[in-house]
Structure 1
Amino acid sequence: MINPSAHGWIDKFFSKYYLLNSPYEIDSKDFYCRTRATGFIYGHVISIGSFKPLLIKGWTSEEISKVALLNSLFGIYQLTAKNQDKSEFSKMVLKFYNTINPEGFSLLKKILPNESDSIKLEKIISERVQTNDNMVSKNFSHIVTNALLFIDVLAFQNFLINNELSKNYIQKTEEIILGIVSLALTTKSNKTLYDDLLIKLFETSVRYTKFSGTKIDSLDKLPLEILQTNLEKYYIMDLAAMAIWNDSEMEKKEAEFLHELGYTLQLEKYYILECISAINQFINKYKAEIPYFNYSNPIKHFYDQSTQNVVNLITRNKKRLQKELAESKELVVLLATSTQRELDTQEKKKMKKQLLDVCKTIPSLTIFLLPGGSLLLPILIKFIPQILPSSFNENLDN
């Protein structure tokens, strides 16, 4: 089993599952369609395209995104460099990320000279998939932020082709994406809450471009000439379709815009239709799992996501947690008491303090020690009684 939140996951992933998202003899369209089918293009990954099946049930969205990003980067490396050497790949992708190191990308403070390439890459990828610092926004907007991770894949391909990254490549790509999204939304006759939210999420998710607020009113005002590869054009089309999507029906103006964009990008008509069909099928199938499409109650989705994360952490650390609880008899008594009556203020403070002490001994539970982490303690307390002996909880007796 791979734990993407623990050191050494890249080496284990390479050795155990051997990434084979796209063997280098397969063309770019096949690579792209395989990647899109995993949900990586849309920012909601449902599977990892590895050679051996990889179970991701129980992983957090962040962990899934880390493995998906690594997988896609290695896939584009195979496709472009015609090479499957994992060691060479690690060296090249590290060189690439050192090249694009943006302001605020605080990797230099975290990477030590004597660390292996795989550990350095783990830190970079972990930093790259971080979304908003605000926990509610983080759970709500990750689909947009993670959808833009494919820009890294495109930029890495550009880096491999030219042995350097073209000047302002990423900035111009982000400008095109923001412009396309803005134009796509203007085609809608009936504006919804999603539309304003979507453009705001895109604006706050770009990492290399400061959005100027300039209104783009036509495609010819965008620097589309920098899009030289089919992968870039496929991606732009899918993001445009994603921006337009709101239900299974597409308005005439929306369809006309996508066809105009496809024509401008010199894409074949069948791909435009395929793009529209793909986004409809994907979102209709996974809409309930994507917080963005449940705009009415982001707090609920924050709670649901946090609950799931806590359950995952408890499941992974069940034995260690049981051991720590067994050694903290006063805490166990308080937990048992809480199943029979409401604890008073003093008891709650004592239980909170002792729970945090337990969390300190299990590295992956440090989420509860972070600012705001105490908000998750009620969720932890809710699930802890399930791993205690039934004798501590009379409410469980038949």
Structure 2
Amino acid sequence: MEINPSTFGWIEKFNNQYSESITDYETDFAFYQACQRSGLIYGYVVSYHLDSKINDAQWDEEEKTKVAFFTTLYSMFRLRNKNSDCNLFVEEVLAFYNSISKAKFSFINKLLPESTSAQKLEALINERIQTNINIVSKNFTHLVTNAMLFVDVLAFDFYLRNGIIDLKFFKNVEQKCMSLITLALHIKSNRTEYDELLLKLFENSLRYSKLSNEVDDQFLLHLAQEDLDELQKLYLLDITEMALWSDGVKTDFEIEFTTEIISILKLNKSIQNTGLEIDKFIEKYRINIPYFNSKHPVKHLYTNAQDTISKLIFRNKKRLVKELSESKELVKLLSKSTTSELSTEEKKKVKKQLLDICKSVPSLTIFLLPGGGLLLPLLIKFIPQLLPSAFNENLED
């Protein structure tokens, strides 16, 4: 049975089919390397912590991120507890988030009073993977994923090892990340569009800190004195590497800065080459990674919206056919729009009737939100392409 990470109850379905396939790791470093290869750290998911194949061909980037985040937390749980009990894992994750701030997540119990623990976790994951930008942008731009999702993984690890955690942990890790990014960008001789977009992506992902252009003069000294665990060290090094990576060529100053960070973090020589992983990943997936594809905001809005709208129509095809069959005038106008320009009056009719249909199909209510109307031309474009048989049948009637 196919899994749709955007539908209610997907975690329970996933656990029934794949809980026995979650990958187990022997060491923290092996776990972190798998996280690098998955792409979760770099904002573009290409694999999951699974020993078996999973069909993700119909998933969008947000849905892939949901599953990658879920399996990463699950693998972390198994690494620390040597326990594969999925129900226990779900309860542990909920307890972890509740311990961060009961007030912040109490909305889940209010919205889903009768929901299972797995369904409550779905709501939490939905909230955690989003950046702090408006709802239309979240659905139709490429800056959708929280670039600091891995901070949640580090925090969950801390919670599993210590049995307690508070917001200070998140704040401290965020501040370290942003300080390293700021320092790395300051030493670059030429700031590129990539650098600005990377900074914006991380800024939008901050939850407990605020971006500051100033870095404490004693930051690196304090960092050297901190007793950080291996996973935190590796992540901070990766963050530094991401900030330095632009054209794939490092200057002498950048190499020197990376060497200094490796020394400050006291990373073992055997794992200092972690930076090579980001080079390999970016070289392979550069054209797909969000922050390497800077475009004019309106252009990338429409470019990325096409794939999303196509999936929405595909998943709601039967419902759309039914609704369209009851509006023959709309079908004729949409068919006409594929061969000739509609008049102003006809366009108004199409817009009104399409919005009425969107009201009756929950997944399409995105078009009713502020700014959603701008995307209606894409909906009009895709319907004739994806539902040709429905149009022909209705026109014959």
Q: Give the TM-score normalised by structure 1.
A: 0.90
Contact 2:19 2:86 in 1 (8 A): no
The answer on whether the counterparts of 2:336 and 2:342 sit within 8 Å (CA) in structure 1 is yes
Kept after mapping to 1: 8 A contact 2:76/2:157: yes
Partner of 1:210: 210
Q: CA RMSD in A?
A: 2.4
Cα pair 1:35 1:41 within 8 Å, conserved: yes
List alignment gaps of at least 5 residues for structure 2: none
How far is the alpha carbon of 1:126 from its aligned partner? Answer: 0.6
The residue that corresponds to 1:324 in the other structure is 323
Distance 1:213 1:10 in 2: 40
Q: Report how far residue 171 of structure 1 moved.
A: 0.6
Measured after TM superposition, the shift of residue 390 of structure 1 is: 8.6
Distance in 2 (alpha carbons) for counterparts of 1:258 and 1:248: 14
Q: Percent identity?
A: 44
Instruction: Report 1:187-336 matches (<5 A).
Output: 187-217=187-217, 219-223=219-223, 225-226=225-226, 228-272=228-272, 274-336=273-335
- Tell me by how many angstroms 1:102 deviates: 8.4
Give the structure 2 partner of residue 95 of structure 1.
Answer: 95
Q: 1:115 to 1:136 in 2, by over 3 A?
A: closer
In 2: Cα distance, 1:189 partner to 1:74 partner: 42
Contact 2:41–2:150 (8 Å) recurs in 1 = yes
Q: Say if 1:304 and 1:222 are closer, same or farther in 2 by CA, change over 3 A.
A: farther
Report deviation, 1:195: 2.6
Is the contact between residue 19 and residue 74 of structure 1 (CA under 8 Å) also seen in structure 2?
A: no
* 1:107-127 deviation digits (Å, cap 9, x = unpaired): 347543332101110111111
Shift of 1:350: 1.5
Alpha-carbon distance, 1:203 to partner: 2.6
- Once the 2 structures are TM-superposed, how far is the Cα of residue 389 of structure 1 from its aligned partner? 3.0
Cα pair distance change 1:31/1:295, threshold 3 Å: same
Contact 1:21–1:31 (Cα < 8 Å) also in 2: no
Q: Distance in 2 between matches of 1:70 and 1:128?
A: 11
Match of 1:55 in 2: 55
Q: What secondary structure is seen at the aligned counterpart in 1 of 2:159? A: helix
Contact kept? 2:101, 2:166, Cα under 8 Å: no
The number of residue pairs the alignment matches comes to 389
SS at 1:249's partner residue?
A: coil
2:118 maps to 1:118: yes
The 5 Å alignment of 1:119-138 reads 119-131=119-131, 132-133=133-134, 135-136=136-137
- Range 222-231 or range 309-318, more displaced: 222-231
Deviation string, structure 1 residues 66-106 (Cα, Å, up to 9, x no partner): 11111111111111122111111111111111122388767
1:160 positional shift? 1.0
Q: Give the partner amino acid of 1:328.
A: S
Distance 1:88 1:165, change over 3 A: same
Q: Which amino acid aligns with 2:258?
A: L
Compare 328-337 and 263-272 and name the one that shifted more. Answer: 263-272
User: Structure 1 pair 83/245, CA: closer, same or farther in 2 (3 Å)?
Assistant: same
Partner SS, residue 311 of structure 1: helix
Q: Quick one: distance in 2 between partners of 1:93 and 1:297?
A: 39
d(CA) in 2 for partners of 1:336 and 1:89?
51
Superposed CA deviations along residues 285-329 of structure 1, whole A, max 9, x for unmatched, are: 212123321224343222111000001111222233222212221
Q: Find out whether 1:349 has 2:351 as its counterpart.
A: no
Q: Is the partner of 2:84 in helix, strand or coil? A: coil
Q: Does 1:374 align with 2:376?
A: no
Q: Equivalent residue of 1:354, what SS? A: helix
The residue type paired with residue 54 of structure 2 is L
Distance 1:204 1:249 in 2: 27
Compare relative contact order (CA 8 Å, sep 6+) and give the higher one, 1 or 2: 2
Residue 237 of structure 1 contacts residue 261 of structure 1 at CA under 8 Å; is this kept in 2?
Answer: yes
- Superposition deviation, residue 252 in structure 1: 1.2
SS in structure 2 at match of 1:378: helix
Could you give the per-residue CA deviations for residues 144-183 of structure 1, whole angstroms, max 9, x where no partner exists? x533100001101111111111561111111110111111
Residues in 1 aligned to 2:181 and 2:213: alpha-carbon distance in whole angstroms: 13
Q: Is the 8 A contact 1:159 1:166 kept in 2?
A: no
1:115 & 1:61 partners in 2: Cα distance? Answer: 26
Gaps of 5+ in 1: 394-398
SS of the residue corresponding to residue 44 of structure 2 reads coil
Determine whether 1:8 maps to 2:9.
yes
Q: Which moved further from structure 2: 50-59 or 194-203?
A: 194-203
Does the CA-based 8 Å contact 2:100-2:166 persist in structure 1?
A: no
Correspondence 1:80-91 to 2 at 5 A: 80-91=80-91
Aligned partners of 2:330 and 2:350 also within 8 Å:
yes
Larger CA deviation: 42-51 vs 206-215 = 206-215
**Judging changes above 3 Å, is the alpha-carbon distance between structure 1 residues 295 and 371 closer, same or farther for their aligned structure 2 residues?**
same
Residue identity matched to 1:246: S
Q: 1:21 offset after TM fit, Å?
A: 4.3
Residues in 2 aligned to 1:179 and 1:37: alpha-carbon distance in whole angstroms: 25
SS in 2 for 1:289: coil
Of residues 139, 142, 158, the one that matches 2:141 is 139
The alignment partner of 2:164 has SS state of: coil
- Confirm or deny: 8 A CA contact 2:35 2:72 kept in the other structure: yes
